[in-house]
Amino acid sequence: MAAMAGLSLRRTRLNPAIRELTREIRPVVGQFIQPLFVVESLSEREAVPGLNDVWRDTPESLVQQVRADLQKGVSKFLLFGVPAEKTTANFDHSFTAAQIARVRQEFSDDVWLAADVCLCSSTTHGHCGIVNEQGDYVDNEDSVAALATAALQYAQAGADCVAPSDMMDGRVAAIRTQLDNAGLDRTLIMSYSAKFHSGFYGPFRVAADSAPGDNIKLTDRASYQIDPARPSDAFLSSQRDAEEGADILMVKPGMPYLDVLADLSARIAKPWAVYQTSGESAALELLTQAGLARRERINAEAWTAFLRAGAAMIISYDARHAHDWLSSE
């Protein structure tokens, strides 16, 4: 105790220079992935409610947004396509594939482009798969087949990475098989391997037009997304996806599941992504708008927490501001 009494921890906190020198976690813009929404039915882009500088883009404004993001140092993107026509089966993925091809043609290898793979924006009911005739169950086998078809089309269009977010069993293996058989063995799979049934997805579901509707018995996604009270499922799901061929694993949401991220990243030796969800971003934005916090500081703190818990990359709606905000901190 006598030796500890002479220990000064404050000397390495005294000024900005020494704090910078002794910092162990340093978020940099190269670790960020910016989500993008492109909507077939829009003639003009529109803001996503609750979020700061996040848009539902037209095909034309999408290209302009990517160009603007590149100028801010952001070169990695996660694309969500929202087709105009919704159905229950036999999905047409040509709109999203065309936007991938357009971005690739416009920017070549200057961008790294991941394509979200799900059916929720394409279905009349808003679920992530094909629902049975009774409307009370998402059929796993049929859904996986449809997801693998979508992933193949996105990869053929030029996506560097396909990102299944549906939480069906076995979809990573099916996608990997489709890609490899088509000679697309260099296309990565970033699996939403630990995606929880969360209340933090609100603004996203507006942006992607993907909220489960009341026109079906199955009114939420609890039957296929992970229960927040069962973290062991997150390990089993992530371990399975790694074995099936996923190159990158993910925890979503981020802040409420830092314990899960820390545990999984220590147990499974894969690169880990974390998704700072729309609800998380909206909560921070509300603090900012109420004058209760500085936007730059609270985001930098959240991003630092993600890296501290084991994330290698951060999917954030505020990625396009990361360079400026981190520089100010």
Q: Which residues, at least 6 apart from 19, have a Cβ–Cβ distance to it below 8 Å? A: 12, 13
User: What's the token pair of residue 117?
Assistant: 């793979």
Q: What number of residues does the chain have? A: 329
Residue 78 CB coordination number (10 Å): 22
- Rounded-to-10 torsion of CA 177, 183, 185, 189: -60
Q: Give me the amino acid identity at 130.
A: I
138 forms bridges with which residues in the sheet? 131
Q: Strand 188-195 to strand 161-164: parallel, antiparallel, or no bridges (unpaired)? A: parallel
Q: Which residues are catalytic?
A: 195, 252
Task: Select from 127, 124, 125, 120 the least CA-distant residue to 150.
Answer: 120
As a three-state string, the secondary structure of 226-254 is: ECCCCHHHHHHHHHHHHHHCCCEEEEECC
Tokens of 305: 């927490």
Cβ-proximal residues to 93 (8 Å cutoff; 6+ apart), any chain:
81, 83, 122, 149, 150, 153, 154
Tokens of 170: 């076995």
CA 274 to CA 17: how far, in whole Å?
30
Rounded CA separation 244/189 (Å): 10
